[in-house]
């Protein structure tokens, strides 16, 4: 067994809970994680720890004896580390690695600043990328993803939706007019955002899964902030994500076009790998990101 101590922690929680599902909820993991930990303990010890039935699970006599001894043992280890870790300024001290799209480059540090100030020793390691990180290989604790979540390895919470807007500066619209349909876009100056993984411009998305390829852009960049600046300067029409466009739409510095053709907003998720147990610092940042991004 890779980590007997963690397996005993899971077992102790399962022994104190009504069922494995409740234990999983307490640990913020899937019920499968609890089931696997218990099964591996049973295989190593050669004794069943729970009686299983359609009504639920109950400790065996052996399991009850082990639970009493395990609570003492796990508690002693926790106390040992509590005494040794005098350098930690809080129970949440340590690094939490977060991956997120570039659009959150300013928002996440600003949103988490009060949390970091309240917990000395807590360190935020923020990695920005539009690509979906391999959370295991890159040792990522928490991710923010725009788009669907279909990977069962993650504990994910939907926190909102992100719209796409085709926008332009008022001076540009006054000069070239408003497009009346998708076909009219090709005759207008457009901005293009480069997909860094492919080196090609991202296509523009519209309702009913229609896309428009920007083949002759007036401005090309791999920076969402630079594209936003170009649109503000009247260089071209751009399709910008909500967090970039909406503040300027409210001030009138940008105007929306083709609103009837807008695609369905993309879901936004905060997720983390299914690891047991979850460090207190990771749970703290995970819960706070969910709160602030909602």
Strand-pairing partners, residue 127, are 99
- pLDDT value, residue 86: 45
Burial class, 108, CB count within 10 angstroms (exposed 0-12 / middle 13-18 / buried 19+):
buried
- The runs of H, that is alpha helices, within 18-60 are 20-27, 31-45
Instruction: Give the residue from 46, 112, 43 showing the smallest Cα distance to 281.
Output: 112
- pLDDT value, residue 88: 47
8 A C-beta contact, residue 247 and residue 169: no
Token pair recorded at residue 240: 């910008």
- pLDDT value, residue 24: 86
Tell me the C-alpha distance between 30 and 21, whole Å: 8
Give the homologous superfamily in CATH for domain 94-152+275-293.
Periplasmic binding protein-like II (3.40.190.10)
164-264 has CATH 3.40.50.300 classification: no
Tell me the C-alpha distance between 27 and 13, whole Å: 8
Instruction: Give the residue from 123, 125, 144, 120 showing the smallest Cα distance to 133.
Output: 144
- pLDDT value, residue 251: 96
How many other C-beta atoms can be found within 10 angstroms of the C-beta atom of residue 32? Answer: 12
Q: What angle do CA 126, 105, 217 make, to 5 degrees?
A: 130
- pLDDT value, residue 2: 47
Tens-binned pLDDT, residue by residue, of the chain (294 aa):
447 888 888 888 888 888 888 888 888 888 888 899 999 998 888 888 988 776 678 898 888 999 898 888 887 776 666 554 444 445 788 899 999 988 888 889 998 999 999 888 899 999 987 766 555 555 788 999 888 777 777 888 888 899 999 999 999 999 999 999 999 999 999 999 998 878 899 999 999 999 999 989 999 999 899 999 999 999 999 999 998 999 999 999 999 999 999 999 999 999 988 766 778 888 999 999 999 888
Q: Hey, where are the domains in the chain?
A: 4-84, 94-152+275-293, 164-264
Report helix, strand or coil for 239.
strand
- pLDDT value, residue 171: 97
- Full-model pTM: 0.61
Strand-pairing partners, residue 206, are none
Helix 224-232 to helix 242-251 angle (10° resolution) is 20
Domains 4-84 and 164-264 share a fold: no
CA 81 remoteness from chain centre:
30
4-84 has CATH 1.10.10.10 classification: yes
Report helix, strand or coil for 3.
coil
Report helix, strand or coil for 259.
helix
């Amino acid at each position: 067994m890779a980590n007997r101590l963690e397996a005993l922690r899971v077992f102790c929680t399962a022994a104190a809970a009504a069922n494995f599902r409740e234990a999983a909820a307490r640990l913020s993991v899937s019920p499968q994680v609890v089931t696997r930990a218990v099964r591996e303990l049973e295989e190593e010890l050669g004794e069943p720890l729970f009686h299983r039935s359609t009504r639920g699970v109950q400790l065996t006599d052996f399991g009850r004896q082990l639970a009493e001894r395990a609570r003492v043992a796990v508690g002693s280890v926790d106390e040992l580390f509590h005494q040794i870790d005098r350098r930690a300024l809080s129970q949440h001290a340590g690094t939490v690695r977060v991956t997120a799209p570039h659009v959150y480059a300013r928002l996440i540090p600003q949103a988490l600043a009060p949390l970091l100030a309240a917990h000395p020793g807590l360190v935020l390691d923020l990695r920005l990328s539009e690509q979906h990180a391999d959370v295991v290989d890159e040792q990522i604790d928490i991710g923010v993803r725009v788009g669907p979540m279909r990977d069962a390895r993650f504990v994910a919470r939907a926190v909102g939706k992100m719209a796409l807007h085709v926008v332009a500066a008022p001076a540009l619209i006054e000069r070239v007019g408003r497009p009346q349909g998708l076909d009219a876009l090709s005759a207008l100056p457009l901005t293009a955002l480069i997909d860094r993984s492919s080196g090609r411009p991202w296509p523009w998305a519209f309702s009913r899964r229609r896309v428009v390829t920007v083949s002759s852009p007036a401005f090309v960049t791999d920076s969402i902030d630079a594209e936003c600046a170009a649109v503000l300067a009247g260089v071209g029409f751009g399709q910008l994500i909500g967090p970039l466009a909406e503040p300027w739409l409210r001030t009138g510095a940008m105007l929306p076009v083709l609103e009837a053709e807008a695609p369905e907003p993309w879901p936004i998720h905060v997720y983390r790998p299914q690891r047991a147990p979850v460090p207190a610092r990771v749970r703290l940042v995970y819960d706070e990101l969910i709160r602030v991004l909602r």
